[in-house]
Each structure stands twice: as C-alpha cells, then as structure tokens.
C-alpha cells in the first residue's frame, strides 16, 4: 500500500470544479483506488457527479463534526488567546 497526498487549488468549489477534481485524482491514481471521506456539503452529494471507478466515496453521518478532521484543527486554533 502506498500512501500519498493529492492537492489541487481551485478558485471556488461547485459541481463542475468538484467533477474536475475527481477526474484529476482518478488520472493520478491510475490503477490504484482511493477511498475518500466526505461530509454532506451540497457539492459532495450532487447526483450528477460522475464518480470514477477508482474512487470510492463514503459519507459521514449528518451532524457529525467530530468526524471531520478540519473541525479539530479549528478547535486547536481557537484555543489560542
């Protein structure tokens, strides 16, 4: 198993850009498979997205900020005076 990171910076996020992210990540993965955890943001759950076969999305339960890593980061930042 190879652990890697993939980052792409967009000017904003909507259905078209999220699809572009999927397409870029899929191409980068090649024959590998990625399991991605998503919250239930509107652009994550659009039914018209074409999810490539080598990307497996899993969705957090509603109202579960404790499962979102960025929430722990925001909590850390708020701890500073």
Query: What pLDDT score does 46 carry?
Result: 67
Query: What pLDDT score does 44 carry?
Result: 63
Per-residue pLDDT of the chain (81 residues; tens, 9 = 90+): 566 788 888 888 888 888 999 999 999 999 999 998 887 776 666 677 889 999 998 888 877 777 777 888 888 899 987
Whether the full predicted model's pTM is greater than 0.75, yes or no, is no
* Whole-angstrom distance, CA of residue 79 vs CA of residue 81: 6
Q: How far is CA 72 from CA 6, 9, 24, 67, in A?
A: 21, 22, 28, 9
Query: What pLDDT score does 62 carry?
Result: 77
């Amino acid at each position: 198993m190879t652990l890697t990171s993939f980052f792409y910076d967009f000017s904003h996020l909507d259905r078209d850009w999220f699809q572009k992210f999927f397409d870029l990540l899929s191409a980068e993965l090649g024959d590998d498979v990625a399991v991605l955890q998503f919250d239930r943001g509107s652009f994550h759950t659009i039914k018209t997205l074409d999810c490539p076969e080598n990307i497996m999305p899993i969705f957090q339960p509603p109202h579960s900020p404790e499962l979102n890593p960025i929430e722990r980061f925001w909590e850390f930042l708020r701890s500073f005076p």
